Each structure stands twice: as structure tokens, then as C-alpha cells.
Amino acid sequence: MTNPTANHGWTRLSCGCDLELRHGIPVRLSSAGGAPDIPAATLSEEVATHSGLRVSLGEWLPGEEAGEVQAKVLVNSEQFTEVLNRLALSAAVMFYDRYHKPVDTGDVDWDTLEYANDFRRALDYCGLDWDDVDRDTCKAEYLRTMHSETSRLAETTELPLVEPETD
């Protein structure tokens, strides 16, 4: 299985901007030389090509370094389920790395906590408010994805890179 969540950290795009990905989800664009002279639609298209997710860009704001600007990247709200799916895959990798077993029905604390955290993150990554998505509607698919991925990992010798969420 090619796991899009393996794309984690900063990567340079062909336009010269740097893209921050968290578990395969684009979250921030940085330009060291000030705001790039490239249309936002072109930048969004390059981010989408790299991540597989349609995005929009926020306004360019001063970054951490002198002369740097950064723009928040928001994933199209219609792809909320895909964002949540990528977070479920990451949660599965983290669980398997810690416990060396598949998630089972007795791991309700893990299920509850990871779903709550990842649901909140997915809302943020898509620029949605708490009431924009029915939390209960997405939970079953999230848990199914997470549980089946830990079972798959247990059946293989694959040990994927674990990148815990830091926010």
C-alpha cells in the first residue's frame, strides 16, 4: 500500500516555494524571498499535484525568518473525508509502532481519543467549523480504516516511519 501519510515535513516545489505536509496533508506554504509573483491558482495547482488534495491559500503573512512569508493552506472541504482517512492511517501506524498489535475492540480509549483529535485536526486543515460536519457520521469509517491498517501492518514486515502530530 502506498501510504500518502509518509509525506511529512517540508518539501521544495518547482515554483521555489516550500510546502509543509503533515501526514500527507498540505498545511503551509513558505517563500523565502517575499510573496511569490505567481498566481494563487497556479500555486494551489502545484500543491494539489504534489499532495493529491485540492487546496486554497490564505494570505501571505510574515514568516519566521527575515524576508520570509507564509500562507496557510486549506484543503477543499469536499475532501474532508480523505483528510480524515489520512489521519486514520497515521493513527494506525502510531498505534502499531507503540503496541506491536492491531487495534481491537478493547482499545476503546485509543479509538475515542484518536478520533476526537483527528476530527479536530481535519476540521482545521479544511477550514471548517465544529458544526459544519456531523462528527458521528465519519467515525465508523475512520475506525474501520485505522483498524484495518493496523491489521495489515501486523501481517507484513513493514515498519513505516512514525511522525506523531505535534499541535
Mean pLDDT score, 143-167: 79
Strand, helix or coil for residue 104: coil
Q: What was the pLDDT predicted at 1?
A: 40
From CA 64, how far away is CA 72, in angstroms rounded? 14
pLDDT class of 125 with cuts at 50, 70, 90:
very high
Residue given cell 465544529 in the structure block = 130
Query: How many Cβ atoms are within 10 Å of 159's Cβ, its own excluded?
Result: 11
Q: What was the pLDDT predicted at 2?
A: 43
From CA 167, how far away is CA 139, in angstroms rounded? 21
Minimum mean pLDDT range among 13-27, 36-50, 99-113, 149-163? 149-163
DSSP H helices, the chain, are 40-51, 80-99, 108-126, 135-155
Residues contacting 78, CB < 8 A, separation 6+: 54
Span 63-82, pLDDT tens digits: 988 989 999 999 999 999 99
Residue given cell 495489515 in the structure block = 152
Q: Please say if the pLDDT value at position 117 is more than 90.
A: yes
Q: Please say if the pLDDT value at position 93 is more than 50.
A: yes
Among 71, 87, 74, 93, residue whose Cα is nearest residue 17: 71
| 156 or 132, greater pLDDT | 132
Pairing mode, if any, of strands 9-12 and 55-57? unpaired
Instruction: Report how far apart, in Å, the C-alpha atoms of 63 and of each of 31, 46, 71 are.
Output: 9, 21, 9
Among 56, 105, 97, residue whose Cα is nearest residue 77: 56
Residue pair 96/112 in contact by the 8 Å Cβ criterion: no
pLDDT class of 62 with cuts at 50, 70, 90:
very high
Please provide the average confidence, as pLDDT, over all residues in the chain.
89
Mean pLDDT score, 155-163: 70
Which of 89-93, 122-126, 159-163 has maximum average pLDDT?
122-126
Q: What percentage of the chain has pLDDT greater than the value 90?
A: 72
